[in-house]
Structure 1
Amino acid sequence: MAGNAVSETPGNHGVDFGAWTIQRVDVGKHLCWNEGSKNLAQIVNSRCVLAVRDLQLSTSYYVDVLGFSKDPIDAPGWSFLTRDNFRVMLGECKDERPAGELGDHSWFAYWNIEGIDEFYKEIAGRGALVTSQPANKPWGLREFTLRTPDGHRITCGQAITA
């Protein structure tokens, strides 16, 4: 059928499926498949928005423990925070159920980290609420998990290269 042909893309070790392309990416000992988009418009980054019960407590945790900086935006009931290439927006919702009471639905993000062991030591030394220690996983990543005062869970990972 036209438009649904699968073909090897010359020179880049990828497979062209017409509407999208998958490319092999070497991450150390492991190969991963990376989807390449042929869309005219592209999503260039993402930000997370979190409901928190105590804006001051949550803002302090992100700044003092996780190393974020507070952006100079004055919006009542909001904190805009940045670390490196990641931005989170905290919105105060005093009457909402905290994420920690949502069970498996309290996952917030997966952060790809360069220097994961250094990052772990940095935030653990500042009192991060770590729920699992750094460990090599069978899927080729070194990961650990932390949580926020509201119970949002964040897993941090880095590709194992050797």
Structure 2
Amino acid sequence: MTLTADTQATPVFKDSRGRTFTPPTGMDDPRLLLAAYRLMPDGMVWRRLFPSRPDQARQARELVRCMLRGHDRAEDAEAVMSELVNAAVAHASGSPFFSSFIAEVQRFGTHGETLRVTVYHCGPTGIPTYRQRHSSISRRPIPGTADERCLLVIHALADAVGYWDAPPGTQTYPMSAEFTAPT
């Protein structure tokens, strides 16, 4: 192979077994992401604690945007995260103490094609805790839920929505949404 000024050689190396390989070309190389999924077969999860204030929706959207960059459904997940944060903040509005929520972004599947965004309201005690809450999955809005506009947006964009299983007589609220990339 003759190299001219117009062509650039892609470095090719041989491993200890004599197999040739091309090293990653940068952070955008899809092979790096696929390798990360092979290391974490149950998926990758990112969590961050936020104070329950309306201005934190922007910060939560930035978390989603950063973690899901390049995914076909990232914009949908970002919009839904904002609505989930608004629901959690509204749910915490009567708390006499500092209250918080945890935003969680999960990417899983063979090639990271499935996404889940979740917002955990940390409770009325003022002490942030994380625990997996029991939730029910619904493909349609559940009647008697806190904010109808929020529900319309979430159900229009997400493939499935998880609701907090509230005790009888207590109003439920959405807490997670799942997205699958088109095949």
TM-score by length of 2: 0.25
Greater radius of gyration (CA): 2
TM-score by length of 1: 0.27
